[in-house]
Amino acid sequence: MVTVKPPITEDKPVSVIMEDTEEDLETLRHSTAHIMAQAVTHLYPNVKLGIGPCIENGFYYDFDLDQTLSHEDLKKIESEMKHIIGSNEPFVRAEIPKDEALKKMEVLGQPYKVELIKDIDDEKVSFYTQGDFMDLCRGPHIQRTGKVKAFKLLSVAGAYWRGKETNPMLQRIYGTAFTQKDALENYLKLLEEAKKRDHRKLGKDLDLFSFQEECGAGLVLWHPKAGRIRTIIEDFWRKEHYKRGYEVVYTPHIAKLDLWKTSGHWNFYRESMFSPLDIEGQEYLLKPMNCPFAILMYKSQLRSYRDLPFRWAELGTVYRYERTGVLHGLLRVRGFTQDDAHIFCTPDQFESEVISVIDLAQFMLTSFGFKEYEIELSVRGKGEKEKYIGGDATWELAEGALQQALERKHLSYTLGEGEAKFYGPAIDIKVKDALGRGWQGPTIQVDFNLPERFDANFIGSDGKEHRVVMIHRTVLGAMERFLGCLIEHYTGSFPLWLAPLQIRVIPVTDNHAEYALGVKQRLENDGLRVDCNTINAKIGYKVREGIIEKIPYILIVGDKEVKEGTVSVRSRKKGDEGSYSLEHFLERIKQEIAAKE
């Protein structure tokens, strides 16, 4: 990846986020994986070794062992690693002929390494040795084991060899390493915090959603509170789209197999699609994407350049086959609703359409409390033009326009050479949450493929047919993943405008119930989401319950409030705030809602 700094032409801050130590950190972490493998072979001499790559924030190594590793075993491995690090052994690289390497690994009883070597296309393979341990590896590595200053083994989990369910299940130990002790400590604190924010846990605690065995893996049940949040998001989303010249469309969940053949999905995307359904002898497929329907709508009439652009938005529910092993809460599911849109325009309109999408994306992200993001522009790889559909001129035009749009907006971005899909370049935005973790955000994808396959055109001012430009874009991504992201970003304490329940009124005794219900009614009349807890329980208990449910405002009413016509306010942010007249309270929270704080 190449970092591109846009010209600074205004006094807006331009931040390019690239850690220059990223490569060093990867080398350090991967070297720590080797050290871990060495420690494991010391403790369990019969271990068969899998692979040990570096991953985001750490590393892992896969082991085939007779016994199941426990947390205690990880501690033993850690202390053996400390010995190895203390001995400060050098990492030594050696290249040996492939057949020699094969023999060596066969003698050592390492079947997985044998398999890996067989797959290598070179005459020679490289090994790295530190002390008494040798491992097949391309490198690079740190110079000596003593360079590892801070590491930690985090967890152990089962993983199929090479991710295939028909292969043996190995034990994968995850760990991380840093160049500084306090960096490790900060990271461990972050992990603790992330655990507290885990949307799967909070989703259950706050009764937001569930997955159920009887229903099937990866299929989300949105409970009423999450349903509220989704309704608020969707209403806001629709309003903002209409404001920006979009129209909202709806399309079916299934379509004839032939449509997916024309679109190319059946050939290129089949592994992610569910098997066909038989309907009166015709094969139909559940949709993995909404795009072909948009194209069919486009083609339902002859289109003139005067009609363009069309901006058709759709909250489209799609179904994709994901292996059970990769499903993860709301983040990896089998059915989800995309906040999709398809824009059809002329080549001349393309750049300004992209700018409008970026504007909308920025507006939406800010509205939901995401202030920081990273942008990647995915373009063709150099010298591999045959991998892509569409001619040079078209690609250059589209890549140039995307780049131009980013520069006009003074946005910094990284250039992902060779990262483009075969059918067109794209802009991908990764948002950062409250813990600084990246989440997949808006994407803007140009498509040369579908207009070609469906022969989608418009009549130009010259009276001739021209190929239409098609843009796919999502702003929030999938509603499911976006909810997961919001839950973790806010630790379930949704801002007032999104909170499923905004206010709870609690009467001190039964005598104050009538007044409490009156307060509830008054607030509801103003469109607020309110309930009233009149059950017979101690006031302290009822307040605590409200706090656990993370309700933004709790209003307590007793003798004093009834007499004075006020409410006693307890906010999630500040705790007790004393008494307010109802009008004053209403004014305040209306401001808070409008500000989307």
- DSSP designation for 195: H
Q: How far is the CB of 139 from Zn ion (least distance, A)?
A: 6
- C-beta closer to Zn ion: residue 138 or 181: 138
Q: How far is the CB of 209 from Zn ion (least distance, A)?
A: 26
Q: How far is the CB of 293 from Zn ion (least distance, A)?
A: 9
291 is a contact residue toward Zn ion (CB under 5 A)? yes
- C-beta closer to Zn ion: residue 335 or 369: 335
- C-beta closer to Zn ion: residue 202 or 398: 398
Return the biggest CA–CA distance within the chain: 93
Binding segment (CB under 5 A) for Zn ion, from list 15-23, 92-100, 133-141, 230-238: 133-141
444 is a contact residue toward Zn ion (CB under 5 A)? no
**What is the SS3 string spanning 77-91?**
HHHHHHHHHHCCCEC
For residues 83, 87, 88, 93, the Cα torsion angle rounded to the nearest 10 degrees is -90
249 is a contact residue toward Zn ion (CB under 5 A)? no
- C-beta closer to Zn ion: residue 137 or 487: 137
For residues 28, 31, 32, 35, the Cα torsion angle rounded to the nearest 10 degrees is -150
Mask: binding to Zn ion, 377-406, rule CB under 5 A, as x and -?
------------------------------
Which residues does residue 99 pair with via DSSP β-bridges, in sequence order? none
CB 285 within 8 A of CB 276: yes
Which candidate, 466, 457, 461, 469, places its Cα nearest to that of 423?
469
Binding segment (CB under 5 A) for Zn ion, from list 35-43, 53-61, 421-429, 471-479: 471-479
- C-beta closer to Zn ion: residue 151 or 494: 151
Binding segment (CB under 5 A) for Zn ion, from list 370-378, 385-393, 470-478, 503-511: 470-478
- C-beta closer to Zn ion: residue 230 or 472: 472
In order, the DSSP letters of 462-518 are TSSEEEPEEEEEEEEEEHHHHHHHHHHHHTT---TTT-SS-EEEEESSGGGHHHHHH
320 is a contact residue toward Zn ion (CB under 5 A)? no
Binding segment (CB under 5 A) for Zn ion, from list 389-397, 416-424, 464-472, 551-559: 464-472
- C-beta closer to Zn ion: residue 26 or 376: 26
CB 492 within 8 A of CB 205: yes
286 is a contact residue toward Zn ion (CB under 5 A)? no
472 is a contact residue toward Zn ion (CB under 5 A)? yes
Strand pairing category for 503-507 and 457-459 = unpaired
137 is a contact residue toward Zn ion (CB under 5 A)? yes
Cα angle value 374/377/378 (rounded, 5°)? 125
What's phi and psi for 297, nearest 5 deg?
-65, -45
Q: How far is the CB of 163 from Zn ion (least distance, A)?
A: 20
Q: How far is the CB of 178 from Zn ion (least distance, A)?
A: 18
Q: How far is the CB of 548 from Zn ion (least distance, A)?
A: 41
Q: How far is the CB of 166 from Zn ion (least distance, A)?
A: 27
Q: How far is the CB of 502 from Zn ion (least distance, A)?
A: 36
Q: How far is the CB of 509 from Zn ion (least distance, A)?
A: 58
Distance in angstroms (rounded) separating the CA atoms of residues 444 and 409: 15
Binding segment (CB under 5 A) for Zn ion, from list 276-284, 291-299, 359-367, 507-515: 291-299
Element (H, E) at 268: helix 265-268
CA distance between the termini of the chain: 36
Q: Name 159's Cβ contacts closer than 8 Å, sequence gap at least 6.
A: 62, 169, 170, 171, 172
Instruction: Note the residues at the interface with Zn ion (CB under 5 A).
Output: 137, 291, 472
